[in-house]
Amino acid sequence: MAQPKALLTLKLLIDTKGKRVIFAETDKDCVDFLFHILSLPVATVISLLKKQQGIMGSLANLYESIENLNETYYIQPNHTKATLLKPTPPPNPGYSAPLMLLNHAPAPTHQKMFYKCRYNCSASYVSEDPKAVCPGCSSTMSRNMSYVAPQQEGSGEGGYVKGVVTYMVFDDLVVTPLSVTSSLTLLNRFNVEESALEEKVVNLGMDQAIKLLKASLQSKTVLTDVFLEDAVGCKPKVEETYAGSLD
């Protein structure tokens, strides 16, 4: 099974005159990470961004309300505050970092155990509590059951997209397979001078990932907002958005 790179990278095509990123070339690992953002629970997003003033509106107040509740007095005994504050995102077997850059919930340290009754009665009951009583034969359900993980189907690459393709990520996060025709059409549409073009390779780590998540909720010029100043040392000057669609 292919393993993701330790560091995500993007090759930016920058319009230095217009002070904006036109698009980025990148690979499977980065696209998998971007698509993974859509699977993040709302509470995870709030937790990551709650220090950014004004970013989450009133949702941050809901998060803080749960944080401030006394778990013993107000939370149902079959739940904890972590159930809401630190939900576990959908699993992606065999593919963890850097796809899970934004996952703040720790991975489970052990597999949940299930139990059945000590005798082979005809009833098919299971329980998470080894002290539970079987409704079929009234014996204690203390016999441990062995868990068998499902076999992963497909090519074994993991993630969401195939790894034999180079992808284009536009400034507004539209993602398409790399196309020379599409890139030339985009340059022509916005009348970008060839002499103003510059390529820069940038890294996408945790700090950039948080900035990208924030910008994706606010902006149509995400790559420009996150990477331009560090890449070429100038602040964005965006008057119109490079739309990802070339229709």
Q: How far apart are CA 90 and CA 147, in angstroms?
A: 19
Q: How far apart are CA 33 and CA 102, in angstroms?
A: 9
Class of residue 135 by CB neighbours under 10 A (exposed 0-12, middle 13-18, buried 19+): exposed
pLDDT at position 79: 84
Q: How far apart are CA 140 and CA 130, in angstroms?
A: 7
Q: How far apart are CA 36 and CA 103, in angstroms?
A: 10
Question: Which two three-digit tokens encode residue 174?
Answer: 């539209």
pLDDT at position 220: 93
pLDDT at position 107: 47
Predicted TM-score (pTM) of the model is 0.72
End-to-end CA distance of the chain: 37
pLDDT at position 54: 58
Quick check: helix, strand or coil at residue 187? helix
Angle between helices 222-232 and 206-218 (to 10 degrees): 140
Q: Going from the first residue of the chain to its last (247 residues), give the mean pLDDT of each consecutive group of 10, the final group possibly shorter.
A: 69 92 93 90 87 71 91 88 82 57 55 73 78 82 72 64 92 93 82 88 90 91 92 66 52
What string of DSSP letters covers 77-116?
A: TT--HHHHHSPPPPP-TT--TTTTTT--SPPPSSPPP-EE
Helices (H), the chain: 28-36, 42-49, 59-68, 71-74, 81-85, 180-189, 206-218, 222-232
Nearest to 128 by CA among 138, 139, 115, 144: 115
Q: How far apart are CA 69 and CA 96, in angstroms?
A: 32
Q: How many residues does the chain have?
A: 247
What distances in angstroms separate CA 148 from CA 84, 112, 114, 124, one per listed residue?
28, 12, 12, 18
Q: How far apart are CA 18 and CA 10, in angstroms?
A: 20
pLDDT at position 198: 92
Cβ-count burial 50-67 (b if 16+ within 10 Å, e if not): beeeebbeeebeebeebe
What distances in angstroms separate CA 201 from CA 16, 26, 119, 173, 219, one per listed residue?
15, 10, 64, 17, 22
pLDDT at position 109: 46
The ranges assigned to domains in the chain are 8-40+162-232, 112-146
